Structure 1
Amino acid sequence: MRGPQRPGPSADGNLPLELTAFVGRTAELGELARALESDRLVTVTGVGGVGKSRLAARAAAAAAPRDGVWRVELSAVRDPEFVEYAVVEALGLTDHTTRQPRRTLLDHLDGRRCLLLLDGYEHLVEGCAGLVAELLRRLPGLTVLAAGRRPLGVAGERLFPLAPLAVEEAVELFAERAERQGLQVGDRAEVREVCRRLDGIPLAVELAAGRLRVLSPGQILERLDDRFRLLTGGGRDGLPRHQTLRTAIGWSHELCTGAERLLWARLSVFAGTFDLEAAEYVCGGDGLPSESILDVLAELLAQSVVSREETAAGVRYRMLDTVRAYGGEWLAAAGDAGRLRRRHRDWFMGLATWCELDWFSPRQSEVAARVEAELPNLRAALDHCLTEPDEAHLGQYLAGSLWFHWAGCGRLSEGRRWLELSLGLDSLYPRSRLKALWVLGYVAILQGDAVAALAALQECREQAELAADPTALAYAEHRTGCLALVTDDMARAETLLRSALGRYREIGELNSNVLMGQVELAMARAFLGDLPEAVRLCEDVRRVCEDHGERWARSYALYVLAYAAWRNGDPAAARELLTDCLGHAHGFHDLLGSVLSVELLALVTATEGDPAEAAVLQGAAGRMWASVGLPLFGSAHYNAPHELCEATARRALGGERYAECVRQGALLDGEAAVARALDGSGERPLDALPTPRGPVRRREDGAGMRKPAASPTRKGGETTG
């Protein structure tokens, strides 16, 4: 994920699929655009493979409402409960509060004029319908464009049935697909007949054209004729179009070699996209050697059964839903679906374990990108664990192992939901449950939910003592100390954090969590007035982080060092430290780290003599806090810099001018706020700034990117279920 990648406002730019290329459709595009001008809910319906997604995406991009267009891809979402999370994700929203995703959406979209494109919702109609109905009722500036095989059934819905391509349009598509392969179509009359027999369904035409490397149009026509006669008794009258598509897919399937058919079926277990390594592990063996996967996959690519995508996480592959469903039926018929789902689960359990270890390394950005790209598959693996008998402990372990993604990459709400679901099931493996408990406590702290955090951490500590699990005990104590820190109990925080750090040393634990514990201890010492000790602790963290290439915990150490520099009368040093801190926190989608940095930068700006800009930054931070939860945790210590900045700016500007500057800052979204804070002057245009969100910006001096001298020591109880 470049850094963590999220869908942007360009609907068309979010459609990497090459199948069902957009050919013709000019009239339909114009008609759909007009429908979007007059109706707030328009649903494009039609048979699978007819081009609903591409037409809807083009229409959405052309609509260009004032506040943007977002495409929500729902085909990989299996549980209706997670529809709202998918929409939040598509909008790129990071919310650390305990608010439900629907509340987050309503608050964010209130007063905006925008368009949501919901794509591939057929299996989630009830969940989507309820959400759409409420959003449209509460948000007068919202338009929804849906693309699926059936209506949503919401009041006011305007249906836009999409017919297949006309014969000449289908011929054009066939020819375009041939040209991409460096081939000529030959006899246009034969091609025209092929397209006619395929009823002009774009996906069916693409699949047929994908055979041009080995078959002429005439041979394709002959084979289609045989296939149709077999399925319809020789009659073409009344052949339903959905049967035509199924026929075309089945014909393409029959022309595949045995290995190609086997891989097609096995690939159907993936949700969303997948990479070669995952395909080799999950699909290899038992009649399909792993070393043959690449060559077989290449054949499926050539036949348009699979498409290839260049992503920030590397080259990935995708199957269209219709093609995947066909393969899934064959997998189930072969009685192999259960085994493949278990292999899929095992691969992504292993991936999560490896990524958790690799988070403490120079590869943090790559890890964040990989996990973001694999979220649909990780969700599928979690769902499998939580619905299969006797696998609750695996779900607990998997949800716990992804702590770095939930806490470090802005997915607290979803992470908490998976953790709570897994902990709601009985498990005979205490270590997995203990891990999920301390991670749940950590997530709840970051959401400002002290009651839930304390309950989870107390249970974790009690059960860890009973199970004699020193690792879980250390984490429970650490996070309880963190809770004391954000609730202003500094003496208890220091006691617990020092004890936890001692336990970590005893068991040889060293990772980002351990370093965060030391940063939190430094915060406690700083709030108690011991700046030299706070600086010593954080300089030690910074040194270890740079030795290991760690940047997430390092950013929090820089925050404390910046606070100390400001307290010591060096605002220039504080600004430099905070700029580095904010760039990395924002790059990881760490909203808490970002807003803390902006708050302190506001105070530094006021100290430097620019109270107006300081007030603007405070306004921007105020908007960001709405997605974090209770501002500054309600902590007097964390809130002190904010109050001092406000008092300084009000005194210099007067109450009316101060309030106006705050309102100006509150108009900035997260991207603009961070860009302005990083600029430092408020004058340089935003498009001239480096983009901190997405790729984590690398410093030219290589700080934080050194190769680790040695792998961190890990205890078995922390990485095994």
Structure 2
Amino acid sequence: MRDLRRDGIPHGNLPLELDAFVGRAPELAELARALDTGRLVTVTGTGGVGKSRLAARVAARRSPRHGVWRVELAPVRDEEFVDYAVVEALGLVDHTTRLPRETLLAHLAERELLLVLDGVEHVVEACASLTAELLGRAPGLRVLAVGRRPLDVPGERVVPLAPLRPEEAVELLAVRAGQRLAGAGYGDDALGEDREEVRELCLRLDGIPLAIELAAGRLGALSPRQMLQRLDDRFRILTGGDRTALPRHRTLRTAIGWSHELCTPAERLLWARLSVFTGSFDLEAAEYVCSGDGLPADEVLDVLSALLAQSVLTREETAAGVRYRMLDTVRAYGGDWLEATGDASRVRRRHRDWYVGLATWCELEWFSPRQREVAARVDAELPNLRGALEHSLTEPDEAHLGQYLAGALWFHWVGCGRLSEGRRWLEQAVRLDAEGTAGEQSRLKALWVLGYVAVLQGDTAHALAALQECRREAERSANPTAVAYAEHRTGCLALVTDDMPRAETLLRSALHRYREIGELNSNVLMGQVELAMARAFQGDLPDAVRLCEDVRRVCEDHGERWARGYALYVLAYAAWYDGEPVRARELLADCLRGAHRFRDQLGSVLAVELLALVTVAEGDAAEAAVLQGGAARMWPSVGLPLFGSAHYNAPHELCEAAAREQLGDERYEECVRHGAGLGRREVVTRALRRPGPPVPLPAPRGAGTGAGARTAKPAASPTRKGGETAG
């Protein structure tokens, strides 16, 4: 991806161009002029005409203050998820009960950026609604939409894109052929006797770039003359059924259909079966989902490689490893063929089974040294996991699988910044009735996970209702695991609502139940950290330290990083409390780096707040105030009114008092305003800077290392963990 940076801070996510851009000079200029004078521009045209490539080319030449951000909408099947897709592309995660649109409006209100919405045609109503509202309330925003139809929003400027001109089409074929066949010489200076056939081939393909790309992939096996001969046959077969369709649509379908017919039977079969994937996929998934009935698993790699060579698939490097992707138009064509084979239901079930299995593996491996790998894997697989959830939750006999899948992904909803989406799936899951023991167990898990998510969002009423139902049904069915989790999360609820004695009682009981059933994972360790917070809030900081040191040891033994970060936070507070700012900073830096990698917003903001307190203790009051301003910008996304609680507010108040005393009110407020204008990545970067030599400062009122200082309270409960980061 294109990583536009200013001062080391990413300002965009445009993909890098991997192939040479050919032609389109007048269209590039027209689109650039439209963006100069209009805030909403839509590039329209038939599928495969090159709309996305043109838009990306022009967008890459723009330099708004806060960057250029592309949202790929092709994997979005439900219009309800358009807002979520934009939130995710911008790197935003909101753990409040706010709708994602409210999150977008808050984020974009003061920013200057270009938003590229790519592939709007199948979700045009949602895109139109979102775009109109964003443009109306974010004056620094410009939107470049790409689709087969306009959004029909007031003020929209439409730039229709026609096929390539003949000379450009020939050039594109020559360039792509040269890339695939070094020395093939399909340029004008080396066409030789094939010059006229190449021109005719480009004309017959109507200059549509996708069709030409597919043709270039065949030049190694067929001459232009041979392709023309085969193209004639396929035109008649594939355009005779619907003469009312637009000529360009018939031509594109012909181009894809022609490429399809040139494939071997095994290649056509794999093409059809791969159409069940949404977004990208890896080789192992393709081997499992697509094998059988004419395609052995050990042959999938060779057949997939053949499709890759023919540009039916593209290959991409990701944090989760090598993955493959099918263009949306090509996938839709394969989907039609899959339905025609009568094998669609079986393949979709295999797709669901694979992703249920993947979620099971990821949940287990979350408590291991592969925790970060798991986070990256689920990020990459999220479109397919959504597809599996949708399939399971809409099939009457598969509700228990949907409930199981929604619950098994708890670590992703909670630990990786997707509380809002997780809650949507969980609420849908618990409304269903699933028969049998498996169904009962799956629904109980979905209930306690739903309660956990609602706790973290600050939705006390819904959290309590879900957890009470889970506890009641678990006791009725004698399910000790579900009882333990329901009790644990009810203890979390007591903790965040300042009922410390009840929180301690429930958390101790839940931990005892976990030991009895042999349960040990990140949830259990978080329960111990939460108990430590309850002890600290009641004045026993040494016991809190003991509990968190134990969590730290277990985490290090198992390679666990997420729960460890919250233990480090408590230990860092204790270090500061005991007058050890250097140790406190080391612990907090470790905590903040981990939370940031996991997209954990609450973990990040808690660490920044405490780092501000450490920074003022080191003698840099101005930087401490800047960090407080940055934290203030992050807090609204967490979802809970932490600053209304005496337990959570102490570090902020102590830091503010010391900084105001040293800077004066006017200078302090100026530094806070500067920090509030920073992005989350910028705040995290500043917080992690190495400080100068510590400067001893008088302890603010209510803090210290003596007995009187024991009244100071730790900043926040790890149970209030969010999943949002600096994007």
Q: Same fold (TM over 0.5)?
A: yes
Q: Does 2:508 correspond to 1:506? A: no
* d(CA) in 1 for partners of 2:690, 2:501: 36
RMSD: 2.0
Encode CA deviations 1:357-405: one digit per residue, 9 max, x unaligned: 0011111111010000011101111111122113222212111111111
Per the alignment, do residues 164 and 8 of structure 1 end up closer, same or farther by CA in structure 2, a change over 3 Å counting?
A: farther
How much has 1:140 moved relative to structure 2?
A: 2.2
- Using the alignment, how far apart are the partners of 2:245 and 2:72 within structure 1? 33
Shift of residue 11, structure 1, vs aligned partner = 5.1
Q: Which structure exhibits the higher relative contact order, with contacts defined as CA atoms closer than 8 Å and separated by 6 or more residues?
A: 1
CA–CA distance in 1 between the matches of 2:371 and 2:32?
Answer: 43
TM-score w.r.t. length of structure 1: 0.91
Name the structure 2 match of 1:586.
596
- Which position in structure 2 is the counterpart of 1:161? 160
Which residue number in structure 2 is paired with residue 196 of structure 1? 203
Instruction: Note if 1:273 corresponds to 2:272.
Output: no
The answer for the alignment partner of 1:479 in structure 2 is 489
Partner of 2:573: 563
Residue 618 of structure 2 is aligned with which of 605, 608, 619?
608
Q: Conserved in 2, the CA contact under 8 Å of 1:232 and 1:239?
A: no
Summarize the alignment of residues 242-391 of structure 1 with structure 2, pairs less than 5 Å apart: 242-391=249-398
Distance, in Å, in 1 between the alignment partners of 2:33 and 2:513 is: 66
In the alignment, the residues of structure 1 paired with residue 87 and residue 429 of structure 2 have an alpha-carbon distance, to the nearest angstrom, of: 22
Q: Choose the corresponding residue for 2:556, options 525, 541, 546.
A: 546
Secondary structure in 2 aligned to 1:361? coil
The one of 638, 652, 664 aligned to 2:674: 664
Which residue does 1:115 correspond to in 2?
114
Q: Is the counterpart of residue 466 in structure 1 residue 476 in structure 2?
A: yes
CA distance in 1, matches of 2:221, 2:42: 39
- Alpha carbons of 1:631 and 1:613: their partners in 2 closer, same or farther (altered >3 Å)? farther
Pairwise mapping of residues 411-426 of structure 1 onto structure 2 (< 5 A)?
Answer: 411-426=418-433
Cross-structure match for 2:173 = 174
Does the CA-based 8 Å contact 2:238-2:257 persist in structure 1?
no
Q: Which of the numbers 490, 493, 501 marks the counterpart of 2:503? A: 493
CA deviations over 1:288-327 (Å, ceiling 9, x no partner)? 1011000000110111111111111111001101100000
The separation in 1 between residues aligned to 2:67 and 2:463, in whole angstroms, is 37
Q: Structure 1 residue 63: deviation in Å?
A: 2.4
Partners of 1:309 and 1:349 lie apart in 2 by 24
**SS of residue paired to 2:91:** coil
Q: In 2, Cα distance between the equivalents of 1:50 and 1:378?
A: 30
Corresponding residue for residue 46 of structure 1: 45
Alpha-carbon offset, residue 229 of structure 1? 4.2
Which residue pairs with 1:142 in the alignment? 141
Contact 2:14–2:68 (Cα < 8 Å) also in 1: no
Which of 611, 624, 627 in structure 1 is aligned with 2:634? 624
Q: 1:417 to 1:633 in 2, by over 3 A?
A: farther
SS of 1:63's equivalent? Answer: coil
Contact 2:49–2:209 (CA<8 Å) still a contact in 1? yes
Whether the 8 Å contact between 1:486 and 1:633 is mirrored in structure 2 is no
| 1:528 counterpart = 2:527 | no
For residue 633 of structure 1, report the CA deviation from its aligned partner.
6.7
Q: Paired residue for 2:582, among 563, 569, 572? A: 572
Contact 1:676–1:682 (8 Å) recurs in 2? no
Deviation at 1:610, TM superposition (A): 2.1
Specify the alignment match of 1:208 in structure 2. Answer: 215
Taking a change above 3 Å as real, the CA distance of residues 613 and 195 of structure 1, as seen in their structure-2 partners, is same
Distance 2:164 2:27 in 1: 11
Change (3 A) 1:171 1:562: same
Deviates more, 1:81-90 or 1:171-180: 171-180
Give the whole-Å Cα distance in 2 for the aligned partners of 1:446 and 1:526: 20
The aligned residue for residue 15 of structure 2 is 13
Deviation readout 1:511-553 (Å, 9 max, x if unpaired): 1110011111111112222122111111111111111111101
Q: What TM-score does the superposition give when structure 2 sets the normalisation length?
A: 0.90
Change (3 A) 1:682 1:453: farther
Instruction: Give the conservation status (yes or no) of the 8 Å contact 1:115–1:143.
Output: yes
Distance 1:358 1:530, change over 3 A: same
The one-letter code of the counterpart of 1:30 is A
> 1:148-187: CA deviations, max 9, x gaps?
1112122222211101111111111111111122241352
Equivalent residue, structure 2, for 1:227: 234
Q: Is the 8 A contact 1:522 1:537 kept in 2?
A: yes
Alignment of 1:62-141 (within 5 A): 62-141=61-140
Most deviating of 525-534 and 592-601: 525-534
- Ranges of 4+ aligned residues in structure 1 off by more than 4 Å: 229-233, 236-239
- What's 2:720 paired with? none
Residues 12 and 601 from structure 1, CA distance in 2 versus in 1: closer, same or farther, beyond 3 angstroms?
Answer: closer
Unmatched tracts of structure 2, length 5 or more: 2-8, 694-727
Q: Which amino acid aligns with 2:584?
A: A
In 1, Cα distance between equivalents of 2:279 and 2:445: 28
In 2, Cα distance between the equivalents of 1:670 and 1:147? Answer: 29
CA offset at residue 634 of structure 1?
3.5
Point out the more displaced range, 283-292 or 334-343. Answer: 334-343
Letter in 2 for 1:126: E
Task: Report SS of the residue matched to 1:47.
Answer: coil
Worse-superposed segment, 126-135 or 267-276: 126-135
Distance in structure 1 (CA, Å) of the matches to 2:358 and 2:512: 30
Measure how far apart 1:270 and its partner are.
0.3
CA contact (8 A) 2:43 2:51 kept: yes
> What runs of 5+ residues in structure 1 fail to find an aligned partner?
2-6, 684-721
Q: What SS is found at the alignment partner of 2:15?
A: helix
Shift in CA distance, 316/432, structure 1 to aligned 2, threshold 3 Å: same
Aligned length: 674
Conservation of the 8 A alpha-carbon contact between 1:8 and 1:92:
no
- What amino acid maps onto 2:275 in structure 1? S
State how far apart, in whole Å, the 2-side matches of 1:65 and 1:655 are.
Answer: 34
Q: Distance in 2 between matches of 1:537 and 1:232?
A: 72
Moved more, 508-517 or 605-614: 605-614
Q: Deviations over 1:69-116 (max 9, x none)?
A: 111111111111111000000110121111000000001100222111
* Cα contact 1:486–1:635 (8 A) shared by 2: no
Distance 2:256 2:31 in 1: 28
In structure 1, C-alpha distance between the alignment counterparts of 2:507 and 2:351, rounded to whole Å: 39
- Return 173-182 or 300-309, whichever deviates more: 173-182
Task: Report percent identity of matched pairs.
Answer: 76
- Check the 8 A contact 2:238/2:253 in 1, yes or no: no
Q: Distance in 2 between matches of 1:355 and 1:634?
A: 37
Contact 1:273/1:318 (8 A) holds in 2: yes
**Is the 1:8–1:14 contact (alpha carbons within 8 Å) kept by the matching residues of 2?**
no
Distance 2:540 2:482 in 1: 30
**Separation in 1 of the partners of 2:676 and 2:65?**
18
Q: Which amino acid aligns with 2:15?
A: G
Question: SS at the partner of 1:273?
Answer: coil
CA contact (8 A) 1:461 1:476 kept: yes
Deviation string 1:534-581 (CA, Å, 9 cap, x unpaired) is 111111111111111111010100001111111112111111111111
Closer/same/farther in 2, CA of residues 197 and 474 from structure 1, 3 Å limit = same
Question: Equivalent of 2:400, from 393, 396, 404?
Answer: 393
1:164–1:201: 8 Å Cα contact kept in structure 2? yes
Q: Which residue of 1 aligns with 2:416?
A: 409
- Using the alignment, how far apart are the partners of 2:237 and 2:404 within structure 1? 50
Give distance in 2, aligned partners of 1:238 and 1:497. 65
State how far apart, in whole Å, the 2-side matches of 1:645 and 1:441 are: 34
* 1:15 Cα deviation from its structure 2 partner: 7.0
